[in-house]
Structure 1
């Protein structure tokens, strides 16, 4: 018997073999003979007629019987737990238990010999894992920070068509010059990239300090960055002239079980919400920026800068719908970090600030949200017709979307209603995301002919696991922000439509290739003119067609 077994058994043996209450004169030889002659070990404590669950040693006796099988009773089915135990009875009990221990030990030895090779392999693997863990601990980046990266290549081009074919140089404000001028300046095939490195740091396991570095070679002369027509901008496009910049820096932490607070020196309002009101791009790809904003860019305008915010999300069982309320304030980067209150500052009249609020109710299968955004002077509607972006009916002056210069008092109020639904299992039926927004502009400096009201809407359909598991097909259509009312009696002629189609092919877990097409029926809106009317009419045609292949690497 091994040493540790002897050590375990020794105290019991000493106690059992020590003198007990029964003296030699009281020894009942017949009783010992009956106990020893029973011959059959009991297999369940219920076989003893005189042992009850209320007995203080009931559990200990049960373990000896059921785990080790080394307890015998008397022939009449009793255990006689209250009578004094003789040394002979103790020796018999101890011997039976030691026999069981020996059997177990021999069985383990046999098994170890039988699986000797397998155990050696496992030991080698464990030793290897320990070595790798030690190496990782010695060379780890940080105990609190994880690094995530995303590289995106975009190859493609746009081309314009329509009856306005003047070769005059393209005017980015009014769209003057027509299709030929646009194609000359923005119709070339391009190869662009976007690189992101994100540092996710947590000090408690529930909070997050987020910092992101970004670089890209989309520039102002690139159609995919909104050059020529702002609606051609891709969600992925970023112009840094190949310089690495810090484009996110914020900290968020929980307060209790349902509240989260966010504060950032460089944060985005749409990323500070408890829920996103669309599933069109979920798990798929993002192509046009307009559709990535749930078709309601007047509210979800991606304003980025100095931000404070908070949201509440109802705590429910996993997979259940929950209510949420989100509120955040962001001053545009470039204003919010200035000390001069006449040109900027945080929470001043010149912060170029946005106040975004959202009430939502949703879960994995369906959801609905109502959003509201208040925009100060010079805050933008993000994606719209060229007419809405410039604010005037083709006139050439220094008008900026929400005010006349920095001294203007113009502001905007935008409202959005979004909803989504998706099937529980992938199949023929796609997920459906819809959105509608209304934007009102107010102020004393609105000129005759300027828009005062605009709208937008979209519908996005996405099929999961198309042809192969993990591949997605997306199709969206709608009307980017277009003017519906002008100051004065004029009726705007700003209608336009946008379409996109993409197929997201998941090559591996880390690589995806996405060919995509998009079409803009009238991106200049009311600014669309025809040479037939000497450039003064709004009945011309101008459209833009684009095609690209987007390759994404995640690591």
Structure 2
């Protein structure tokens, strides 16, 4: 109830407290005179000697005094709160409060008159905003979905050197220059549609398009390790926009998170990504936390569950890269052991990919250990962008059991000390169906990534990484020939980049990289298994590019 209404009702209510026989001739006029004789209103409740904080109406009386200044006492400094109020006293109180309300109203009128033009302008703006908000609400894309996008332009080229020849005697550097030496301008576009129905869940749809298929940066050039992290082309062709990810993530209780999707990637189902080095880096090989076989970023139909508590987390997930195909394949079908056009979940041709990760990740550092099993015919296994040719051959033709160990640390404040990320991967490959030229093989990989925030200028970032893409360390062939000193497949990769943050939404990143021996043991015509020899011939790859990223 408004103050004015309260004051109007108060006399009537208080009047009921007066004796029924009371009338104007019986009232104590002297008491009213005493009440009004103070001459001025009190300014603080503490001026009343008989009012205490324990009184039930203490706060109400304090508000009337301090906010409206319309309460008076008796000349002796008392309020006499327990005394019955006469109608004359109520009238005196009401009159004092009405005088204060009238003063406030007159002041408001004066201010409204003085700022009449400004108020009119503000009213017009508010009306305009209301109209625009109404229009947006009527035409908005969705009340539950947010749309974000990332567009990336890449222009660059590669050069090649060395005196190594291939199997038929052609100089590798000349072949590489002829097939992958041209300057290219490619793009990648990702559109993220994030939907939440409860505020805690996430339905993510990713639409993607690109044209890296015929570029050396796409992984299918003469040197597969030239592949960039951002490179993409839809299998249906360049410039084709298609669903690249579609999964739903939701909490179970306070510690568990479940993820399920028809097109979900391995890392979408991990509670922690084990690196501080940016996923949006240059060479794709540095995207896998040092263990490309373990963190293979397999993509397909799958589900996962993760648990987090006090910086600890455990994640477990499974996906089938061929899960959308209902033809199981295998020895008991018309397709035999050919899985090119077969699939199904948990079948011989499922392309199974299972991962378990344990991590401890406080605010600015962390440790992680992961195990992954990848079956033969898996689209998520090693590809040309993260291993030597020989390592990729073995991995794509067998079942892999992989282990990855990772650690990372970031300084609390930007400075000359960089964030440090490191990782190591070990992979054991076995021939699952006794049809290959080898029985087993082992591969390894590692990397160290450094990143300086606010380098040279606030907002800019400097980074570099060095490591060895997946390379073969041992192999046992079908003819029982074992090569326990298989160290000739090694190759070192290095990248250096500087990101200029032009605006909050635009960055420009020049980068260079070097591959010391991208063909590994096949550099000079092959290893003993292929009738080749291990000479001292060399073949290397140097690349440079300019990457521009737009976020919207």
Query: TM-score band (shorter)?
Result: 0.7 to 0.9
Report matched runs for 1:507-546 at 5 Å. 507-529=502-524, 536-546=533-543
**1:93–1:10 distance in 2 versus 1, CA, 3 Å:** closer
Aligned partner of 1:10 among 3, 8, 20 = 8
Find the counterpart in structure 2 of residue 395 from structure 1.
Answer: none
Instruction: Give per-residue Cα distances to partners, 1:56-77, cap 9 Å, x unaligned.
Output: 3222222211221111111222
Q: Which secondary structure state, in structure 2, belongs to the residue aligned with residue 270 of structure 1?
A: helix
CA contact (8 A) 1:212 1:249 kept: yes
CA contact (8 A) 1:223 1:229 kept: no
CA contact (8 A) 1:162 1:543 kept: yes
CA contact (8 A) 1:166 1:180 kept: no
The CA RMSD measured in Å over matched residues stands at: 2.6
**1:8–1:84 distance in 2 versus 1, CA, 3 Å:** closer
For 2:521 and 2:257, how far apart are their aligned partners in 1?
A: 43
Q: Which secondary structure state, in structure 2, belongs to the residue aligned with residue 276 of structure 1?
A: coil
**1:109–1:57 distance in 2 versus 1, CA, 3 Å:** same
Report matched runs for 1:71-86 at 5 Å. 71-86=71-86
For 1:166 and 1:344, how far apart are their aligned partners in 2?
A: 36
Find the counterpart in structure 2 of residue 374 from structure 1.
Answer: 373
Instruction: Give per-residue Cα distances to partners, 1:488-544, cap 9 Å, x unaligned.
Output: 14411112111111111122222211111111111111112179x996224321111
Report matched runs for 1:141-156 at 5 Å. 141-156=141-156
Aligned partner of 2:278 among 254, 257, 281 = 281
Instruction: Give per-residue Cα distances to partners, 1:357-386, cap 9 Å, x unaligned.
Output: 111121441112111111112332341112
Aligned partner of 2:189 among 182, 188, 195 = 195
CA contact (8 A) 1:298 1:381 kept: yes
Report matched runs for 1:237-386 at 5 Å. 237-240=231-234, 241-281=238-278, 285-314=280-309, 322-332=311-321, 334-342=322-330, 343-379=342-378, 380-382=381-383, 383-386=386-389
For 1:514 and 1:425, how far apart are their aligned partners in 2?
A: 23
For 1:196 and 1:123, how far apart are their aligned partners in 2?
A: 42
**1:267–1:177 distance in 2 versus 1, CA, 3 Å:** farther
For 2:177 and 2:446, how far apart are their aligned partners in 1?
A: 28
For 1:254 and 1:381, how far apart are their aligned partners in 2?
A: 32
Offset at residue 339 of structure 1 (A): 3.0
For 1:235 and 1:132, how far apart are their aligned partners in 2?
A: 41
Offset at residue 207 of structure 1 (A): 1.6
Aligned partner of 2:446 among 442, 457, 482 = 457
Q: Which secondary structure state, in structure 2, belongs to the residue aligned with residue 271 of structure 1?
A: helix
Q: Which secondary structure state, in structure 2, belongs to the residue aligned with residue 194 of structure 1?
A: strand
Instruction: Give per-residue Cα distances to partners, 1:243-295, cap 9 Å, x unaligned.
Output: 2222111111111222111111111001221111111116xx42111112222
Moved more, 160-169 or 367-376: 160-169
Find the counterpart in structure 2 of residue 222 from structure 1.
Answer: 216
**1:5–1:29 distance in 2 versus 1, CA, 3 Å:** closer
For 2:162 and 2:212, how far apart are their aligned partners in 1?
A: 26
Q: Which secondary structure state, in structure 1, belongs to the residue aligned with residue 72 of structure 2?
A: coil
Aligned partner of 2:390 among 387, 390, 395 = 387
Report matched runs for 1:410-425 at 5 Å. 410-425=398-413
Q: Which secondary structure state, in structure 2, belongs to the residue aligned with residue 227 of structure 1?
A: coil
**1:313–1:125 distance in 2 versus 1, CA, 3 Å:** farther
Instruction: Give per-residue Cα distances to partners, 1:156-188, cap 9 Å, x unaligned.
Output: 11121111156969xxxxxx7511111110111
For 1:66 and 1:502, how far apart are their aligned partners in 2?
A: 66
Offset at residue 223 of structure 1 (A): 4.0
For 1:46 and 1:8, how far apart are their aligned partners in 2?
A: 24
**Structure 2 portions without partners, runs of 5+:** 331-341, 477-481
Find the counterpart in structure 1 of residue 465 from structure 2.
Answer: 476
For 2:504 and 2:63, how far apart are their aligned partners in 1?
A: 51
Q: Which secondary structure state, in structure 1, belongs to the residue aligned with residue 121 of structure 2?
A: helix
Instruction: Give per-residue Cα distances to partners, 1:430-451, cap 9 Å, x unaligned.
Output: 1111111111123464977776
Offset at residue 112 of structure 1 (A): 2.4
Q: Normalization by structure 2: what TM-score?
A: 0.88
**1:67–1:7 distance in 2 versus 1, CA, 3 Å:** closer
Find the counterpart in structure 1 of residue 207 from structure 2.
Answer: 213
**1:486–1:530 distance in 2 versus 1, CA, 3 Å:** closer
Q: Number of matched residues? A: 521
**Structure 1 portions without partners, runs of 5+:** 170-175, 317-321, 392-400, 404-409
For 1:361 and 1:108, how far apart are their aligned partners in 2?
A: 62
**1:221–1:74 distance in 2 versus 1, CA, 3 Å:** closer
